[in-house]
Amino acid sequence: MSMSMPTAAATASWPLAAAMGDVDQQPLPLFLRPLVLHGVSTAAHLLLALSVAVRLVFAASIHHRKEPSAAAARGAGFRWCRLAVRTTWALAASEVFLAVYSLVSWYLESNSGGGAGWGAPDAVADQADAVSRAVAWLLLAAYLQLEYRSRGEERFPAPLRLWWSLFLLLSVLALAVHAATGLQYKLPVPALSWARDAVSVLAGAVLLVAGFSAERGAVGGSASEEPLLNDAREAAAENDTVDASMFTSAGFLSFLTFSWMWPLLAVGHRKTLDIDDVPELDHGDSVAGVLPLFKANLEALTGDGSAGQKVTAFKLTRALVRTMWWHIAVTALYAMIYSLAIYVGPYLIDSLVHYLNGDERYASKGKLLVVTFIAAKVFECLSQRHWFFRLQQAGIRTRSALVSVVYQKGLSLSSSSRQSRSSGEMINIISVDADRVGLFSWFMHDLWLVPLQVSLALFILYSTLGIASLAALGVTVIVMLATVVPMQMQEKFQEKLMGSKDVRMKATSEILRNMRILKLQGWEMKFLSKIIDLRKTEESWLKKYLYTSTVATFVFWGAPTFVAVVTFGACMLLGIPLESGKVLSALATFRVLQEPIYTLPDMISMFIQTKVSLDRIASFLCLEELPMDAVQRLPSGNSDVAVEVSNGCFSWDASSEVPTLNDLNFQARQGMHVAVCGTVGSGKSSLLSCILGEMPKLSGEVKTCGTMAYVSQSAWIQSGKIQENILFGKEMDSEKYDRVLESCSLKKDLEILPFGDETVIGERGINLSGGQKQRIQIARALYQDADIYLFDDPFSAVDAHTGSHLFKECLLGALGSKTVVYVTHQIEFLPAADLILVMKGGRIAQAGKYNEILGSGEELMELVGAHQDALTALDVIDVANGGSEAFSSSGAASLSRSLSSAEEKDKQNGSEDVGKVQSGQLVQEEEREKGRVGFWVYWKYLTLAYGGALVPFVLIAQILFQVLQIASNYWMAWASPVSKDAEPPVSMSRLIYVFVALAGASSMCILARALFLVTAAYKTATMLFDKMHMSIFRAPMSFFDSTPSGRILNRASADQSEVDTTIAEFMGSVAFSIIQLVGIIAVMSQVAWQVFVIFVPLTVACFWCQRYYIDTARELQRLVGVHKAPIIQHFAESITGSVTIRSFGKENQFVSTNSHLMDTFSRPKFYNAASREWLCFRLDMLSCLTFAFSLIFLISLPTGLIDPAIAGLAVTYGLNLNTLQTSVVWYLCSLENRIISVERILQYISIPEEPPLSVSGDKLSYNWPSEGEIQLHNLHVRYAPQLPFVLKGLTFTFPGAMKTGIVGRTGSGKSTLIQALFRIVDPTIGRILVDGVDICTIGLHDLRSRLSIIPQDPTMFEGTIRSNLDPLGEYNDDQIWEALDNCQLGDEVRKKELKLDSPVIENGENWSVGQRQLVCLGRVTLKRTKILVLDEATASVDTATDNLIQKTLQENFSEATVITIAHRITSVLDSDMVLLLDNGVAVERDTPAKLLEDKSSLFSKLVAEYTMRATHT
């Protein structure tokens, strides 16, 4: 063995063969010799290969007999098995690569005559080892794929785990031998051996961990995971579909190349994807998979029971890390591989330039350099793609976990907690904050990656430029520190921006809920200006945020140039010679160094934003929950007493000195009916709240026995089908269901609705009348078949006939044997009660049976006296004698027949879309565009601000930057000598000065570009916001009836956020990356124009992939957008109805619905991420081909044919080719996905408008209407062209200055008539004249500002008493106080510390429903118009308060035309005229007295029934 040292050192195929022949060297001990090492390894691997081969043959022979184990029921062990299989495939691939490389190198060496051929025992042993390893690991990978992936096995046999232990031991030994050989014996160990050692040790460690962890997981499962997930896993097993296993059961190659996405992409290419086409999630990505684990981890960190009190952002983060640790670990590995791979190119460029220059030292290394370049590129691409995919998967899981936890918390909040947070704030937590924490997964590794990448860069710079690299380090640190100030400013601006967005969303949410009342009052423009003012505050922070980001952009785009200038300047000062190879290596390193420097501001900004979001989520999770022990709940049958309150003291406000309820003592036995009555604000609803456990208990004891059902005063209806609302999660029992519908008088209503009980109800029951909503609520309670029923005055919203029917059929009939506690204002319902509680000032003033307490105190006498006063108006009928007899059963039957004619929907679909009307349902699935996003959307966006004038400036600045940057690099490559011996073309100082000038100019271009872009972005966002909101506020009421507010809020929050901060950035990035790509190809073609031969077809292939992908991706992104709104809407509905949900014990049902909605949202999001990686992987591989072709072409050219420096420059730029080619397509696709936000906003900008608010020309006289006479001429009204008429040829005159009552059964057209008067819906045929003026010829505000209305649902807005009474600020304090005194609220407001500035919280929830109604009365007494409409205005107040209201109206509106729609007949008895409507037709019209004289009139029958109920109930 006489091989010389240089040859041996150059030989990579057998490590130490050459060294053995050097006589001067100290001989190696036997156990360190390669022959022994490779011999042992070869024997072990051959034995493994033989065993596995036999096992494979055996497995194949019994394959048809062995059924796959339940693939769906994959436990904790399965995840480890999957890891082991993939690791084995990766190891097999690397062993094959190393074996091929080793054999090829050996062959080339032996052919050149420098090698020892097969004669060298060490060489033979090395080759045998390489081949045996490759064969053995390939066989093992195939075996594992068959046994543990295809068949779902979950544990590895002991021999396999023993082999992995042995393999790790052998790998560590080999590493130790090579270390000893190199360090102690000073013998060269080739890079190939080190590479094999590194791969083997890493793979061996992973396999060993996976093997033993899979054993534990298969035997018992992880303690935290197994018990919690069993049920979910069994359910998944039952419903397992082929789709569900698309990702889960992907083979190694399919997983590696994302080929498992082909089936979905093929479907998306053929047709427009729908949510049903999107496969199910892997169990681990669903809420059922991730939530139990996250909750267990959070509870472990926050302690038991009182977890809510201890949640902090830090603990929340730790719980998330514990839950996602697997993804964090695997993405860290991918990120590490990627970071190492990207620096291989810059490190080797100097060697490539030397090779191209004909340097003898590198003469035989051309092919090795090319292979290394390409291998590094492939590893870079693979690791980056899987890194990004797993990050997004972790983000989806994080979001699901957080939204689910926040939802569950929202359901259990106490009343004070609920009042402390507005629904807008809570919605922002799930729509913005949870999203942001999910997005943070992109940045989670940057904390350690940035230092690692900077260190690698400095290592390369030190190896090329020596001591000058310290200057690079110094300037890099300075640049990074320079970002601290702008980043701190951005954090502050971000927080302020989010805070102001919260306030705006809260106001928007409230306005959308109450849009009907705003339109009726003509206030919508005032409230729009309120939103615009809030947006102006938000815009001031947005502007600061955006302009601060330009400073950051400038610093970071300029950073690589700045670092280069300082480093090369240091070289000049220190006299370090600059050769072109070193310069190019440094420039390539600076370019890669851009990534950590670019990443840093985003990372800091994202850290800040995520911290803010985590703090907000944590503070929400810390809110006080409803105490579980406030009520002692016993199971059914455990006690004779159904409800008992002893010494109860309760208060809504714990800090208040006067409790809301005091000294409560009462008992309701099983089957008792308890009535609760009292004046407005006496504590009736609060009494029910304390029984439900909703009200904070200061002292005392509350016990209940049995299940509960609750009917609230303000109806809470879910959007969805009527049937779903009634069943409320119970199974359908047809007989029981029919009985319930009959009891609640719902049969007739359902017959009229287009789809019966399948009709979809709009948000908050918007397409149902108040009476229908209450009856559906009662039906929901009856169907639950509970033991205790709590009714909070549900009869006030229905007419007298229906109220009487409900009381008899429901309370006395269906619930005759149940315990019922009912609040009522109707005195006629009191005698039927077993116990009456009369409330006054938060105490039970009287308690007992009706006759017992009637004479024993004045409280009940006051109420009954007021009721009797109302009945005296009926003296015209001899109630005691003929009246009741006349109202015989036949009379009742005829009345029922005549009054129960078809009930029309009071509020039908607005006809902005014919398709919607034809499909019949009011609320349609959210509209989404199909196919490509139209070019007009991009054009509209680009040209909105300044007519698109800034766009050319942005592009010119970017092109100039690119040209100047290429020029500066070209100058450095050309002007530097190729080697030490060559003569430099220019002096060192000129070299640096020209470079500085070019670099400085390019940096200024970046600053200009950033400023132009931000200016255009800000202006466009502002204009889109203003146009959309103007369009929404000017939309007709039908738009709001058929559009859930969640959809509008989604556009105003999530879509507007995209427009505010990201879309312009993405649009810029598309243009910038295309300009950079053109620059790279231009530089590469300078050296080898032949690159176009492969670049053109590969670019065509890239765009084919992009077009194939975008069909699916675009629809997936749209599905993500469409399925976000239902989560927000369901959350908002659940918060509003949390009292009802808890009272029925349906929390689990609602949590389950939320989980389903979350998974439906996550599905398109997950597959969208996977499809993007599918595309990027293919683009990366095509770019690698272009790069590989260029490199092979360069090394195959004869030496000296091309300038090595320029060739090196081409390679430097080529290193970025794959990144840029991918980023062009990625940015294009991302932009197309995000531009959908603009498309959705533009959709709402083009909503059809209402008629004009004011009409120029003939001005109305200032005192119009002076008479107040209203004439209806042949009035036909319908809600859409395809729908039937609701009012059918109505001709009637409401005399001026007189009081007219409108009566009729629910659905007879009463509310529609009022809507026509206010032009909420315009007449189809006929006219309405007010004082001779056709109302359709004047502006909406001109009309609505001259009319007043007290609506059916009393509405108060967040603000103060003053802003609620006088939103437009038209009256002084004296006038407001007078109005308050008129509506009986003056004393109540004077008691409050802040008087007129007393706060009103969201929805006016700190005021009772009756008090809210009185505020509405105060508004009209303040306005004092000539025409007043009362739409069932006194439904929520007791009879005594009602009488006071009537007196107030008589005093204040004696000269006005008053139109009353009333359920209480007494409200219209003192009218001058009565109009009785039935099925949209005027059946009777006359004075009450005349109608009552005619015993056959429908009106007299209606009155007779009311009196009979009032006296004989």
Contact 1439, 863 (CB under 8 A): yes
Position 921 scores a pLDDT of 57
What was the pLDDT predicted at 916? 34
**Residue 42 and residue 244: Cα distance in Å, rounded?**
42
- Tokens standing for residue 638: 């455990």
| pLDDT confidence tier of residue 308, bands split at 50, 70 and 90 | very low
Q: What is the pLDDT of residue 928?
A: 53
The highest-confidence range among 209-223, 798-812, 852-866, by mean pLDDT, is: 798-812
Which tokens belong to 913?
């879309």
Q: What angle do CA 217, 222, 223 make, to 5 degrees?
A: 145
Question: What's the pLDDT at 76?
Answer: 46
- State the pLDDT at residue 960: 93
Q: Tens digit of pLDDT for each residue in 580-602?
A: 778 888 888 887 777 777 677 67
Higher-confidence residue of 882 and 329: namely 329
Mean of the per-residue pLDDT values for the chain? 78
pLDDT of residue 60: 59
Instruction: Give the type of residue at 373.
Output: F
Residue-wise pLDDT tens digits, 514-532: 888 888 888 888 889 989 9
For the stretch 35-59, pLDDT in tens is: 777 888 888 888 888 888 877 776 6
As a whole number of angstroms, the distance between CA 1053 and CA 358 comes to: 63
Is the confidence at residue 65, as pLDDT, over 70? no
Per the model's pLDDT, the better-predicted residue between 1310 and 1282 turns out to be 1310
What's the DSSP call for residue 796?
G
Please check the confidence at residue 798 and state whether its pLDDT lies above 50: yes
Q: How confident is the model at residue 863 (pLDDT cuts 50, 70, 90)?
A: confident
Q: What is the mean pLDDT of residues 742-767?
A: 77
CA distance 936 to 461: 49
Q: In the numeric block, which tokens belong to residue 906? A: 């009071």
For residues 233-253, average pLDDT: 52
39 phi, psi to nearest 5 deg: -65, -50
Higher pLDDT, 1212 or 200: 200
Q: Which three-class secondary structure string do you get for 169-215?
A: HHHHHHHHHHHHHHHCCCCCCCHHHHHHHHHHHHHHHHHHHHHHHHH
Mean pLDDT of 1254-1275: 80
Cis, bond preceding 1265 (omega within 30 deg of 0): yes
Give the least confident one: 553-567, 705-719, 1142-1156.
553-567
Q: 357: pLDDT confidence band, cut at 50, 70 and 90?
A: confident
Least confident range from 53-62, 292-301, 804-813: namely: 53-62
Average pLDDT over residues 144-165: 69
Give the position of tokens 């800040």.
608
Query: Which range, 36-40, 76-80, 690-694, 987-991, has the best average confidence (pLDDT)?
Result: 690-694
Would you say residue 1147 has pLDDT above 80? yes
pLDDT over threshold 50, residue 887: no
Of the candidates 1469, 1470, 1478, the one whose C-alpha atom is nearest the C-alpha of residue 1498 is 1478
User: Predicted confidence band at 886 (pLDDT cuts at 50, 70, 90)?
Assistant: very low
Type of residue at 551: V
pLDDT reported for residue 184: 62
Q: E strands within 1252-1307?
A: 1270-1277, 1287-1294, 1299-1303
Whether the predicted pLDDT of 678 surpasses 70: yes
Q: What is the dihedral sign for C-alpha 1115, 1117, 1121, 1126?
A: positive
Mean predicted confidence (pLDDT) in 11-31: 46
Question: Model pTM?
Answer: 0.67
Contact in structure between 129 and 223 (CB atoms under 8 Å): no
pLDDT of 1020 strictly over 90:
yes
Mean pLDDT, rounded, for 316-335: 88
661-669 and 788-792 strand pairing: unpaired
What's the whole-number mean pLDDT along residues 1061-1082?
86
pLDDT at 1022 over 90: yes
Q: What is the pLDDT of residue 895?
A: 34
- Position 542 scores a pLDDT of 92
Kindly tell me if the per-residue pLDDT of 644 is higher than 50: yes
Rounded mean pLDDT, 1420-1444? 75
Give whichever of 369-383, 1148-1162, 1260-1274, 1289-1303 has the largest mean pLDDT.
1148-1162
pLDDT-derived band at 870, boundaries 50, 70, 90? low
Highest mean pLDDT among 134-143, 548-557, 652-661, 1350-1359: 134-143
For the record, the structure tokens of 1278 come out as: 């319908």
Q: What is the pLDDT of residue 397?
A: 92
CA distance 648 to 632: 13
pLDDT-derived band at 1018 (thresholds 50, 70, 90) equals: very high
**What pLDDT does 1343 receive?**
87
pLDDT category at 1016 given cuts 50, 70, 90 is very high
| 896-928 pLDDT, tens digit each | 333 333 233 333 333 333 233 334 555 555 555
- Cβ(753)–Cβ(781) under 8 Å? no
The answer to whether residue 572 scores a pLDDT higher than 90 is no
1286 dihedral zone (left: phi>0; alpha: psi -120 to 50; beta) = alpha
Q: Mean per-residue pLDDT for 693-715?
A: 87
Taking only the tens place, the pLDDT of each residue in 1312-1354 is: 888 898 888 888 888 898 888 888 888 888 888 888 888 777 7
**Amino acid identity at 1044:** P
Q: What H or E segment, with its residue span, contains residue 648?
A: strand 641-650
For residues 1511 and 51, the model is more confident at: 51
Q: Please write the tens of the pLDDT for every residue from 83-114.
A: 788 888 888 888 888 888 877 777 766 665 54
Of all residues in the chain, the percent with pLDDT exceeding 90 is 7
pLDDT tier at 537, thresholds 50, 70, 90? very high
| Closest alpha carbon to 460 in 597, 337, 598, 582 | 582
Q: Give the pLDDT confidence of 183-202 residue by residue, as tens digits.
A: 666 677 777 787 888 888 88
